[in-house]
Amino acid sequence: MNITVEQSIDAIIYVEHVEQGDLSAADLLEIDSIPWVNWFEAWLQLLGSTPTKLAKSCELSLRLTSDRQIQTFNHQYRSLDQPTDVLAFAATEANITLPPDLAEPLYLGDIIISLDTAARQAREQQHPLRVELAWLASHGLLHLLGWDHPDDRSLEQMLEQQSKLIQLINI
């Protein structure tokens, strides 16, 4: 779909109570300090430079959760009974036509990130948890906007776009 935004985003951020699991107190403090709304606004403004236009404002939800909870969603919606790092559920169909006078924010969908898996992946790749969370959030956002990676070529294009998004927020 590759829809984009012209001006702003109204982001709804849900943070569920997280089981301690693999997260340290420092990890939890770092998560609490992340400027999620600023990240999504910056990313959508960058993506707004493409020809397709979205409503003047849009909304999305971000849920930070545990491996146990994301495994439930993964099993329910993808028939995979295992945790994963990020899930994205787009609320709009691909190639929709929006009325030019759309006054309401367009709801893009939901992004769910497992903090347990993010912390593990950050340790494995030897970078801060903040970097991993930015990577996963940007990946989820691209999925909400219609990006997918069914083959190596499209995965490479999506990862390239994610790199641009991460650079934009100085991570």
Ordered DSSP codes for the chain: -----SS--EEEEEEPPPP-TT--HHHHHHHHT--HHHHHHHHHHHHTTSSS---S-EEEEEEEE-HHHHHHHHHHHHS--S--SEEEEESS-TT----TT--SPEEEEEEEEEHHHHHHHHHHHTS-HHHHHHHHHHHHHHHHTT---SSHHHHHHHHHHHHHHHHHTT-
Q: Can you list the residues of the chain whose pLDDT is less than 50?
A: 1-7, 50-52
∠ Cα 5 11 14 (to 5°): 150
The distance from CA 116 to its chain's CA centroid, rounded to whole angstroms, is: 16
Q: What percent of the chain has pLDDT over 90?
A: 52
Q: pTM for the full model?
A: 0.85
Q: For residue 1, what pLDDT is reported? A: 34
Amino acid at 151: D
Tell me the pLDDT tens digit for each residue of 112-146: 999 999 999 999 999 999 999 999 999 999 999 88
Tokens linked to 155: 């995965």
Amino acid at 94: A
Q: For residue 25, what pLDDT is reported? A: 84
CATH class of 10-168: alpha beta
Instruction: State whether the Cα torsion 15-115-105-35 is positive or negative.
Output: positive
The full set of domain ranges for the chain reads 10-168
